[in-house]
Chains A and B, each alone.
Chain A
Amino acid sequence: MLNRILPFFLFIWICLVIIGAFLYAPLAEGLGELTRVLYFHVPTAWVTVLAFLTGAVFSVLYLKSKSIKYDYYAESASQLGFVFCILATITGSIWAKMSWGSFWNWDPRETSVFILLLIYAAYFALRSAVEQEDKKAALSAVYSILAFVTVPFFVFIVPRVYTSLHPDPLVNPEGEIHMDAKMLTVFLSSLAGFTVLFIWMIRIKMNLVLIHLKLKEMEN
């Protein structure tokens, strides 16, 4: 039941977010039309991190249980994360062009998103290099956990050591959010919408994995 209503509800929700971002939310001072990219850039970046976390959690579960389905789940999370990571990079790059004058200038935040792309690429390269299924699962699970442990260095430490032009992420040192009520409504709705979108997408992928495993079992 929920599975049928959810996509419909999600569609309307995301539509409202898009309308809200372009028509309802006021523009921030000094940023002008650029404000609008915020409602899509931050949620995609957030979903990237969420997908990365999900992938690492599934990897841990695989290593603990050695049940192959968790490996497929981890792969699914990474595939989705990769897509959202590309979206976050592109929206961020548009922001950078408009606000700092160039599409890419190795700001610490840009470096960290680029590293995430590299990690995903390396993860998929590793998966393609190993043929044996359980070996592939174990090696890529270890790599994904290892990569997950080093990412905080990019996200939290490197931008602290090196000055970044990037506006503070959700939690800034003062612990407050500089947005007016209307902007905040659209922003949080978009964040929620994208999170549910990710959950919906990964649920579809997880069901596919289960069907795939079932088919394989039947073949044997």
Chain B
Amino acid sequence: MRTGSFESMVDAFYIFKKDLIQEFKTRYALNAIILFAVVTLTAVSFSIGVISADDDILCAMFWIILFFSSMSGLSHIFVREEETHTADTLKLVTCPTAVYLGKLLFNFMLLLALEIILVPLYFGLMDFYVRHLPLFLIVLAIGSVGLAGGGTIVAAIIAKASSRGALFTVLSFPVLLPLLISGISATRIAVNARSFTEASAELQTLTAYGVVVITVSILLFEFIWNE
């Protein structure tokens, strides 16, 4: 097993590559997460119908769709290792930190793929107009890091528990809520065409959240992984 920090970075990248190749064989997680987003978006758009919702509600709705879609796909990465019994082999070849970072990178990419589909659709279907687009994209990027970080560690917990799918949302929601709250608030600022400085408190919260959650996850992951 390679445990040096540089080696674990390299290993993390290999694990990411492995998961990417595996994902494109079946495209299970990608299909699940994107279809979930489209279905939810359709449901929201259909039920709101011709009544135009105001921007504040649209911002909240966007993050709710993003949150629940990610809940449908983020846990797959660890559940798959448990179901195919490949986790033990991974344990032998590399250190836990590399596994966590590789899976985190994969989940982050999965979220980006989701957002590439979801954002234009949401803009089109919901008549959602963001006046400060760069701010919106930055909020989305930083938010995705936190979402992937929190989602990945909870996914690792869930994969070891016996009832897999059902608990994931329940466990993630309280942990991810600070991210959702500040994400929604920052999106509101972006929609109302204000400057970066006005969203600084939210951006700081989002960044701090991502850093804290990922650091703690790296420290704790070992205990779940070797269980």
Pick 12 A–B contacts, CB within 8 A, sort by A: A129-B163, A131-B162, A139-B157, A139-B227, A142-B157, A149-B213, A150-B213, A153-B209, A157-B178, A157-B208, A158-B205, A161-B201
Contacts A146-B175, A161-B205: A138 and B223 contacting too (C-beta < 8 A)? yes
User: Given contacts A138-B227, A147-B174, could you give 20 more A-B pairs where the C-beta distance is less than 8 Å?
Assistant: A115-B177, A119-B175, A122-B167, A129-B167, A130-B160, A130-B161, A131-B162, A139-B160, A139-B161, A142-B153, A142-B157, A142-B224, A145-B216, A146-B175, A149-B212, A150-B209, A161-B182, A161-B201, A161-B202, A162-B181
Q: Are A143 and B160 in contact (CB under 8 A)?
A: no
For chain B, residues 175 to 227, give those with C-beta under 8 angstroms from any C-beta of chain A. Answer: 175, 177-178, 181-182, 185, 201-202, 205, 208-209, 212-213, 216-217, 220, 223-224, 227
For A120-157 the 0/1 string (1 means CB < 8 A from B) is 01100110011100110011011101110110011001
Check if A138 sits within 8 Å of B224, measured CB to CB: yes
Q: Is the CB of A211 closer than 8 A to any CB of chain B?
A: no
Q: For the complex, is A63 an interface residue (Cβ under 8 Å from B)? A: yes
Q: Indicate if the CB atoms of A146 and B177 lie closer than 8 Å.
A: no
Task: List the B side residues contacting A119 at CB < 8 Å.
Answer: 174-175
Say whether B173 faces chain A, with CB atoms less than 8 Å apart: yes
Interface assignment of B48: CB less than 8 Å from any CB of chain A: no
Q: Please give, as numbers and ranges, the residues of chain B lying within 8 Å of A118 by CB-CB distance.
A: 173-174
Contacts of B223 in A (CB 8 A): 63, 138, 141-142
Contact B171 A143 (CB under 8 A): yes
Give complex CA distance A161, B198 in Å: 11
- Which of chain A's residues has its CB closest to B222's CB? A63
CB of B178 within 8 A of CB of A153, answer yes
Give the nearest-CB partner of B224 in chain A: A142
**Partner of A154 from B162, B178, B212, B227 at Cβ < 8 Å:** B178
Q: Give Cα distance in the complex from A115 to B174, angstroms.
A: 6
B interface residues, Cβ below 8 angstroms from A: 150, 153-154, 157, 160-163, 167, 170-171, 173-175, 177-178, 181-182, 185, 201-202, 205, 208-209, 212-213, 216-217, 220, 223-224, 227
Q: Are the CB atoms of A135 and B213 closer together than 8 Å? A: no
Chain B nearest CB from A216 CB (Å) reads 21
Q: Does the CB pair A126–B174 fall under 8 Å?
A: no
The residues of A that contact B213 with a CB separation of less than 8 Å are 146, 149-150
B residues less than 8 Å from A142 (CB atoms): 153, 157, 220, 223-224
The reply to whether B162 and A130 contact each other, CB–CB distance below 8 Å, is yes
Q: Which of B157, B161, B174, B182 has the most chain A CB within a 10 Å cutoff? A: B174
Name the A residues within 8 Å of B160 (CB-CB). 130, 135, 139
Which residues in A have their C-beta under 8 angstroms from that of B208?
A: 153, 157
Chain B residues, CB < 8 A from A145:
216, 220
In the complex, are the beta carbons of A157 and B205 less than 8 A apart? yes
Rank and list the top 9 A-B pairs by shortest CB-CB distance, nearest first. Answer: A153-B178, A118-B174, A119-B174, A129-B161, A129-B163, A142-B220, A138-B227, A122-B171, A149-B216
B217–A146 CB distance below 8 A: yes
A129 touching B217 in the complex, CB below 8 Å, given contacts A63-B223, A161-B185: no
Q: Could you tell me the distance in whole angstroms from the C-beta of B44 to the nearest C-beta in chain A?
A: 21
Complex alpha-carbon distance, A150 and B209, angstroms: 8
Which residues of chain A have C-beta atoms less than 8 A from B216's C-beta? 145-146, 149
